[in-house]
Amino acid sequence: MAHVILGLLLLAPQSLYGLIKSFEAGVGLFYSASSGSIKRALDGLLDKGLIEVASTEPGGRGKKIYRVTEAGRQEFHRWMTGELSGADLETAALSRLFFLGLLDPADRPPVLRRIQQRAAAHLAELTALKERIDTIEVPVQFREVAIYQRATLDYGISSARHALTWFADLAERGEPQTG
């Protein structure tokens, strides 16, 4: 979550409230976070010197506006161009895709290739699991359950295949067109 917050703050300095709204308006499509978890991540970024308080608005509440430091810019770049981590491919891939326009154009294709590689590895894992499951004799009392468990795996395989194809197509097309 910290890297997503860095990306949002690179787009524009924001308050905690603004970050919560940014999650709700865009990032929340692929990354869910509570206001408490956003606040904790924000505090961690402050402690590490990756962000700073740009200003404090006058008034009773003294709303703080946060911005990214140079160290934060470097950390964001390292994360964007590094290996995808975490068990959830969709969140890891879409988090980077959402902020890909913040990178120099030359840095974007390697990010898309890493996403493709991760999608291919995920598809291979799911396919191998399917092949192993296909060799197992399911006891009669569990066959109805197994049908839907297998359908869940089939969905995962289909989703992984789609992700691999979609990111390959995007990488092949190059820079997406706006308008």
Question: How far is residue 22's CA from residue 1's CA, in Å, rounded to a whole number?
Answer: 13
Q: Which of 53, 38, 49 is nearest to 1 (CA)?
A: 38
pLDDT at 55: 76
**pTM recorded for the entire structure:** 0.83
Domain edges within the chain: 1-81, 96-179
Fold (CATH) for 1-81 = Arc Repressor Mutant, subunit A (1.10.10)
Query: Could you read off the pLDDT of 112-163 as tens digits, one per residue?
Result: 999 999 999 999 999 999 999 989 898 999 999 999 999 999 999 999 999 9
Q: Provide the sign of the torsion angle of the four alpha carbons 90, 92, 97, 98, taken in this order.
A: positive
C-beta separation of 92 from 116 below 8 A:
no
For residue 99, which of 47, 179, 17, 22 has the smallest C-alpha distance? Answer: 22
What is the length of the chain? 179
Residues 74-104 have pLDDT tens digits of: 999 999 999 888 778 888 899 999 999 999 9
CB atoms within 10 A of CB 122: 23
175 pLDDT more than 70: no
Give pLDDT, residue 153.
94
Question: Which tens digits make up the pLDDT trace of 48-72?
Answer: 999 998 877 766 566 889 999 999 9
- Cα torsion angle, 19, 81, 162, 170, sign: positive
